[in-house]
Amino acid sequence: ETGVTQSPTHLIKTRGQQVTLRCSSQSGHNTVSWYQQALGQGPQFIFQYYREEENGRGNFPPRFSGLQFPNYSSELNVNALELDDSALYLCASSYPPTGELFFGEGSRLTVL
């Protein structure tokens, strides 16, 4: 186990709804990265947070947003859900931002 925990593990939403996913980073890690993994694909970088600031963003629309808290835990928020948002959402922590990523077990989102 990596020490990175995510919640919830599974959830079902309908198109147009909003979702919040949560992540607690491994002890001693100050950086959290979020990835989206669609079925049969590799993880796609959404964004990274370092010391509560966004430290890089992939090619995702603004309806994907995030936060990092002083204890380095993080949230991923997705507004106006679309069917294509159905995927496994992975949180990974690292120290420093360019260090190895250690992934949590993921949150599997299904949008109907």
Nearer to another protein, 44 or 86 (CB): 44
- Does residue 95 contact residue 2 with C-beta atoms inside 8 Å? no
Nearer to another protein, 5 or 20 (CB): 5
- Distance (Å, rounded) from C-alpha 40 to C-alpha 38? 6
- Distance (Å, rounded) from C-alpha 36 to C-alpha 47? 10
* The only residue of 2, 20, 30, 65 in contact with another protein, by rule CB under 8 A: 2
Site for another protein in 53-82 (CB under 8 A): 55-56, 58
Q: Count the site residues for another protein by CB under 8 A.
A: 25
Query: Does residue 87 interact with another protein by CB under 8 A?
Result: no
* The only residue of 34, 50, 64, 72 in contact with another protein, by rule CB under 8 A: 50
* Ramachandran area for residue 56 (φ above 0: left; ψ -120 to 50: alpha; else beta): left
- Distance (Å, rounded) from C-alpha 44 to C-alpha 21? 16
What are the backbone dihedrals phi and psi of residue 83, each rounded to the nearest 5 degrees, phi first?
-60, -35
Nearer to another protein, 75 or 105 (CB): 105
- Judged by the rule CB under 8 A, the positions of this chain that interact with another protein are 2, 33, 35, 40-45, 48, 50, 55-56, 58, 88, 90, 97-98, 100-106
